[in-house]
Copies of this chain bind each other. A is one copy, B any other.
Amino acid sequence: MEKILVFGHKSPDTDTIASSIAMAYLQTKLGNTAVPKRLGNISKETEYALNHFKIGAPELISSVSEDDTVILVDHNEPAQSADGIADAHVYMVVDHHRINGFTTPEPVYYYAEPVGCTCTIIYKLFNDNNVVIPADVAGLMLSAIISDTLLFKSPTCTDKDRKVAEDLAKIAGVDINTYGLAMLKAGTDLTSFSAEELVSLDGKQVTLADTVKAKISQVNTADIDDVMTRKEKIEAAMQKDIDSLGLDLDVFLITDIINSNSQVIVLGSRADIVEKAYSVKLENNTAFLPGIVSRKKQVIPVLTSNV
């Protein structure tokens, strides 16, 4: 088989990068030629993890073509994938998100589980295929689980994620809490980002209930107030997105990963969906959402059912 390109979603987070690297490694051990790629800039959190375990970042690509064979990890929706994905040959998908808009002309290997992190699933694939996970790759996979579950505090976290993380920590030789808090804190240093960068760092475009074009962005922080001092600039950046992308709804979640709450800034003609979904009144376009930390489990489905 020709070379397989392995990549996760646009605006890559730690799970997307770790999954790409781990899956490319696994495929290579299974006799395929596979290389990890990425569709955007590395976050500070991911950079911390890559540096800690001395692994290089995947090469940046923006598009694929009909000549490419690809493995999608940590995503399936075409809008979140590489440009030209509809023309590429999808060899495999391993994901933990809902399936939406994914289609192939022929049957394909597709494995999704409702767990907190793609790397939890990839760990199972290593075991199923009797491939040993090297310490550095294990460390990176552990970083992904810590990142996606906010150190097991997110409601998306399952027992499987916890058990796999414990096993990976042993292989990697790190203490989960010490390493995890250091990594998460490295990821919350938002000072060097402009408002435009904040709204695109981890921004996902979704169409809610087939009708509402939305963008839902999220940043993690240890200090919501600190981010809110830049509210006006963030709103201006969001308005730019609304105009250029034709959005009906733009949601910016500022998530306090220490206390597990979010402050939300909402713009767009359908801002009412957020008010209805969480029974809150937006004041100056913002509201506090206690206990809300998971975009995938606590935001997208809740907004979808309140369109």
Interface membership of chain A positions 224-256, coded 1 if the CB is closer than 8 angstroms to chain B and 0 otherwise? 000000000000000000000000000000000
**Which A residues, 249 to 307, have Cβ-Cβ distances below 8 Å to chain B?**
296-297, 300-301, 304-305
Question: Which residues of A are interface residues toward B (Cβ below 8 A)?
Answer: 96-114, 128, 296-297, 300-301, 304-305
Least CB distance from A76 to B in Å reads 9
B98 and A103 contacting across the interface, CB-CB below 8 Å: yes
Least CB distance from A233 to B in Å reads 33
* Residues of chain B lying within 8 A (CB to CB) of residue A108: 98-99, 112, 114
Alpha-carbon distance A174/B276, docked complex (angstroms): 61
B110 and A106 contacting across the interface, CB-CB below 8 Å: no
A101 and B98 contacting across the interface, CB-CB below 8 Å: no
A107 and B100 contacting across the interface, CB-CB below 8 Å: no
B98 and A107 contacting across the interface, CB-CB below 8 Å: yes
Least CB distance from A16 to B in Å reads 15
B100 and A103 contacting across the interface, CB-CB below 8 Å: yes
Alpha-carbon distance A157/B253, docked complex (angstroms): 48
Q: Sample 10 A-B pairs with CB under 8 A, ordered by A number.
A: A97-B107, A100-B104, A102-B102, A105-B301, A106-B114, A106-B297, A107-B112, A107-B114, A110-B110, A128-B128
Alpha-carbon distance A108/B102, docked complex (angstroms): 14
Closest to A302 in B: B105
Alpha-carbon distance A109/B304, docked complex (angstroms): 20
A96 and B107 contacting across the interface, CB-CB below 8 Å: yes
* Residues of chain B lying within 8 A (CB to CB) of residue A113: 107, 109
* Residues of chain B lying within 8 A (CB to CB) of residue A97: 107
A99 and B98 contacting across the interface, CB-CB below 8 Å: no
Contact of A103 among B96, B101, B104, B300 (CB under 8 A): B101
